[in-house]
């Protein structure tokens, strides 16, 4: 690296820090609070189950520990707002660096675009995002760059706390997600880093009936890309221009982990709600 | 006839809650054997193996022939009351709060005369039916009831001390998602419970029977997940002070033994519901219930746990499930001791295999949820500490009493 590049990087970081301090760069929390009543993926009961977040108080300035407060926590790697590594899916099982302890760090901080399909998702709970939708979107908003996180806004996070969040019925869950051709397009034609959603999985509620089943999981992870689920506050991000920080816990051979997802965005000059 | 017990008035918030006093606690080992029979609802007396004479109160040698071959046996429960008295004052703290107390002398058809608690509807002299029940200290006492059922018989104040009647009581049923919990809620509603709080875990997931459950009179569904300490604590904060009876119907059942795929994850889930769930429930609700053991008509009365009879011996096809049941059984013994100070009964309802989705491959006889509900209500109404639902549970209990080691082999064949 040249001296000029080094100096330039120093300037960029200084400016970033200064802007964060003065509020020119706003930090948006895309994370839901980890709580025991946060729903997790429902699987057929004969399969192993996803353990929801649980918390047991160890002491709280009392006889169990007079001067300190702390808890034991337990959960699935896939509870709450969480990260899916390629090893999570069978299609990604043989890829190098496919577990959370072995991810290239430069992929964990990067630009994000937000595809707003909240109106479509409100109109159709089984809305499928297709390649055609993506092409139309690119005509209006420009091409999705290589190395980008694509965040799929459905406003589904606003259903948290009511049955509609999982939207389970006798025939399974009903929530929006990507069609196989959209995933093929994003991964192969656009080289995205990962795909982030507001729903409990990157796939549509009825994703098991698509071909391949669970196309987001299958195609993303089969190509070493990542998933982010149960995101919050995507409506506070610009279509382009956000940089997200999404680093999972460093669990040996882990398939994913709950995490804090932060987005840096140019301030809109308004207070967060 | 007995004056029917009406719904209690709302509690006066300025009045001190009556502390739960207990009748005399210490008993001889021979007496505790009688308590064991009474715990299962059986009227049994010591009968001498040499001279055949029945005796009471329990002792170590036969009063007829001095033989020490004295075993408890179910005996004829009929008799005639020949004299009575009413105790109007006592120095004992428990009875002092409960006078007047009727006591009678009963000549039993099996050949001896005994002093027993006397139901208000028994005419003197007159025929009676004897029952052995546990008092609030968990000791066996004998009571003479009318030979044929009288009007509102179970509302007799002395009889109510020996039972945990669901009538006018506010009852928490822990698992409304399951068929057993739904059947129990329904049966308790019919038995006169004034409020039935039914816990529903993960209410955002629909479940079969939901509409039927909500339509049961006096039922109120509330979020409750026994695997989540926060959820249990929050519910206790809401209704803990007015929960008179708990019926824990939550049960995590999965087939499989130690060598099964993923058995550690699944058995952890099972223990989290069946053992730690019970513990969370007891920790959150128990202390308040124990403090309200003598709080009037709707005092805290009982903690009922519905558990598989494989708590007594392991069924290897459901190996870790049985292990969780054994831990549950042990925890109930601990809870029984801890709740005794409040006079709150801890009742175990052991069931044979329930007819549900997880036991489709188990051959009959199986137990229907309605059968369990019936036994739960009976346990409460009659104050039975250990009940067994269905032929398999009854049979396993008998084999367990005979020799647990033989039972272990029988279940593993």
- DSSP labels for B177-246? TSHHHHHHHHHHHHTT-SEEEEEESSTTS--TTHHHHHHSTTEEEEE--TT-HHHHHHHHHHHGGG--EE
A228 membership: H or E segment, kind and range: strand A226-229
Q: What was the pLDDT predicted at B32?
A: 96
Please check whether residue B42 lies inside any domain of the structure. Answer: yes
User: Which CATH superfamily includes the segment(s) A29-266?
Assistant: Putative cyclase (3.50.30.50)
Token pair belonging to B44: 């049994």
Does residue B378 share a domain with residue B258?
A: yes
ipTM summary value? 0.90
Q: What confidence tier does A270 reach under pLDDT thresholds 50, 70, 90?
A: low
Does residue B386 share a domain with residue B277?
A: yes
pLDDT at A272 over 60: no
Please check whether residue B293 lies inside any domain of the structure. Answer: yes
Which A-chain residues 12-71 have CB contacts (< 8 A) with chain B?
35-37, 39, 42, 48-49, 51-52, 54-57
Please check whether residue B38 lies inside any domain of the structure. Answer: yes
Does residue B352 share a domain with residue B275?
A: yes
Which residues are bridge partners to A82 per DSSP? A229, A258
Report pLDDT digits (tens) over B28-87: 999 999 999 999 999 999 999 999 999 999 999 999 999 999 999 999 999 999 999 999
Report pLDDT digits (tens) over B210-243: 999 999 999 999 999 999 999 999 999 999 999 9
The pLDDT of A73-96, averaged and rounded, is 98
Which residues are bridge partners to B386 per DSSP? B348
Does residue B182 share a domain with residue B149?
A: no
Number of other CB atoms surrounding residue B41 within 10 Å:
18
Taking the domains of chain A in order of start, what are their residue ranges? 29-266
How high is the mean pLDDT of chain B?
96
Please check whether residue B350 lies inside any domain of the structure. Answer: yes
Does residue B330 share a domain with residue B221?
A: yes
Report pLDDT digits (tens) over A161-180: 999 999 999 999 999 999 99
Q: Which of B239, B268, B271, B254 is nearest to B173 (CA)?
A: B239
Which residues are bridge partners to B351 per DSSP? B308, B389
B400 membership: H or E segment, kind and range: helix B390-402
- Could you give the angle at which helices B390-402 and B404-411 cross, rounded to 10 degrees? 130
Does residue B193 share a domain with residue B314?
A: yes
The pLDDT of A17-39, averaged and rounded, is 96
- Tell me the percentage of chain B whose pLDDT exceeds 70: 100
Does residue B192 share a domain with residue B85?
A: no
A172 touches chain B (CB under 8 A): no
Whole-number Å distance between alpha carbons of A107 and B385: 62
pLDDT at A65 over 90: yes
Token pair belonging to B233: 């604590």
Does residue B224 share a domain with residue B101?
A: no
Does residue B327 share a domain with residue B278?
A: yes
How close B181 gets to chain A, by Cα (Å)?
Answer: 19
Q: What confidence tier does A269 reach under pLDDT thresholds 50, 70, 90?
A: low
CB spacing of B265 vs A57 below 8 angstroms: no
Report pLDDT digits (tens) over B102-156: 999 999 999 899 999 999 999 999 999 999 999 999 999 999 999 999 999 999 9
Looking at B110, B126, B160, the residue that finishes a domain is B160
pLDDT at A273 over 70: no
Q: What confidence tier does A74 reach under pLDDT thresholds 50, 70, 90?
A: very high
Question: Domain count of chain B?
Answer: 2
Looking at B138, B160, B182, the residue that finishes a domain is B160
pLDDT at B175 over 60: yes
| Residues of A assigned a catalytic role | 88
CB spacing of A55 vs B206 below 8 angstroms: no
Task: Kindly identify which residue of chain B lies nearest to residue A50, measuring between CA atoms.
Answer: B265
Q: Is B312 exposed, middle or buried (0-12, 13-18, 19+ CB in 10 A)?
A: buried
Q: What confidence tier does B263 reach under pLDDT thresholds 50, 70, 90?
A: confident
Report pLDDT digits (tens) over A243-253: 999 999 999 99
With contacts defined as CB-CB under 8 Å, which chain A residues touch B276? none
Report pLDDT digits (tens) over B156-168: 999 999 999 999 9
Does residue B250 share a domain with residue B148?
A: no
Containing structural domain, residue B145: 29-160
Looking only at the bridges linking them, the beta strands covering A54-62 and A65-74 are antiparallel
Q: Write the CATH number for B104.
A: 2.40.50
Please check whether residue B316 lies inside any domain of the structure. Answer: yes
pLDDT at B396 over 80: yes
Strand, coil or helix: what is A9? helix
User: Rg (Cα) of chain B, in Å, rounded?
Assistant: 22
Does residue B185 share a domain with residue B123?
A: no
Report pLDDT digits (tens) over A116-129: 999 999 999 999 99
């Amino acid at each position: 690296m040249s001296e000029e590049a080094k100096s330039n990087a120093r300037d960029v970081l200084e400016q970033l820090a200064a802007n964060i301090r003065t509020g020119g760069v706003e930090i948006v929390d895309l994370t839901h609070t980890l709580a025991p009543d946060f729903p997790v993926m429902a699987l057929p009961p004969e399969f192993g189950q996803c353990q929801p977040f649980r918390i047991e108080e160890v002491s709280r300035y009392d006889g169990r520990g007079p001067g300190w407060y702390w808890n034991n926590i337990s959960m699935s790697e896939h509870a709450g707002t969480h990260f899916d590594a390629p090893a999570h899916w069978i299609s990604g099982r043989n890829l190098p660096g496919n577990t959370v302890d072995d991810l290239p760090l430069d992929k964990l901080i990067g630009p994000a675009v937000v595809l707003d399909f909240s109106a479509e998702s409100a109109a159709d709970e089984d809305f499928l995002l297709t390649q055609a939708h993506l092409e139309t979107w690119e005509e209006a908003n420009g091409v999705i760059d290589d190395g980008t996180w694509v965040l799929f806004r459905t406003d589904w996070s606003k259903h948290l706390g009511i049955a509609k969040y999982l939207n389970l019925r006798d025939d399974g869950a009903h929530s929006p997600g990507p069609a196989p051709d959209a995933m093929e397009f994003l991964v192969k034609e656009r080289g995205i880093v990962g795909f982030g959603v507001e729903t409990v999985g990157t796939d549509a509620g009825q994703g098991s009936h698509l071909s391949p089943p669970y196309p987001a999981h299958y195609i993303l992870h089969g190509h070493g890309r990542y998933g982010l689920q149960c995101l919050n506050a995507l409506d506070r991000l610009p279509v382009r221009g956000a940089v997200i920080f999404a680093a999972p816990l460093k669990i040996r051979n882990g398939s994913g982990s709950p995490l804090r997802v932060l987005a840096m965005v140019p301030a809109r000059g308004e207070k967060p709600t | 006839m007995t004056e029917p017990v009406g719904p209690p008035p709302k509690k006066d918030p300025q009045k001190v809650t009556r502390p739960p006093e207990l009748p005399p606690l210490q008993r001889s080992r021979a007496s505790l054997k009688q308590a064991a029979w009474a715990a299962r609802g059986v009227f049994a007396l010591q009968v001498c193996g040499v001279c055949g004479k029945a005796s009471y109160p329990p002792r170590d040698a036969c009063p007829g022939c001095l033989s020490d071959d004295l075993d408890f046996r179910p005996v004829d429960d009929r008799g005639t009351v020949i004299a009575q008295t009413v105790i109007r004052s006592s120095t004992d703290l428990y009875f002092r709060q409960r006078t007047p107390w009727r006591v009678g002398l009963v000549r039993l058809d099996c050949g001896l005369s005994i002093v027993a608690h006397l139901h208000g509807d028994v005419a003197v002299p007159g025929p009676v039916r004897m029952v052995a029940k546990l008092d609030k200290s968990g000791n066996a006492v004998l009571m003479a009831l009318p030979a044929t059922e009288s009007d509102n018989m179970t509302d007799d104040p002395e009889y109510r001390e020996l039972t945990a009647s669901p009538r006018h009581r506010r009852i928490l049923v822990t698992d409304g998602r399951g068929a057993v919990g739904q059947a129990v809620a329904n049966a308790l509603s019919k038995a006169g419970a004034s409020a039935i709080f039914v816990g529903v875990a993960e209410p955002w997931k629909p479940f079969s029977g939901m509409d039927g459950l909500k339509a049961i009179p006096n039922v109120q569904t509330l979020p409750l997940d026994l695997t989540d300490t926060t959820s249990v604590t929050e519910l206790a904060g809401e209704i803990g002070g007015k929960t008179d009876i708990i019926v824990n119907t939550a049960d995590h059942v999965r087939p499989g033994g130690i060598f099964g795929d993923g058995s550690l994850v699944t058995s952890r889930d099972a223990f989290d519901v069946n053992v730690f769930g019970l513990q969370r429930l007891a920790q959150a609700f128990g202390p308040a219930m124990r403090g309200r053991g003598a709080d009037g008509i709707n005092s805290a009365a009982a903690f009922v746990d519905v558990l598989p009879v494989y708590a007594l011996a392991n069924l290897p096809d459901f190996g870790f499930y049985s292990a969780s049941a054994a831990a549950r059984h042990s925890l109930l013994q601990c809870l029984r001791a801890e709740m005794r100070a409040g006079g709150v009964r801890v009742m175990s309802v052991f069931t044979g295999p329930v007819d549900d989705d997880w036991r489709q491959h188990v051959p009959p006889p199986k137990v229907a949820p309605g059968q369990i509900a019936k036994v739960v209500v009976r346990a409460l109404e009659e104050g039975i500490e250990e009940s067994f639902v269905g032929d398999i549970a009854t049979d396993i209990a008998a084999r367990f009493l005979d020799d647990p080691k033989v039972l272990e082999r029988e279940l593993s064949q």
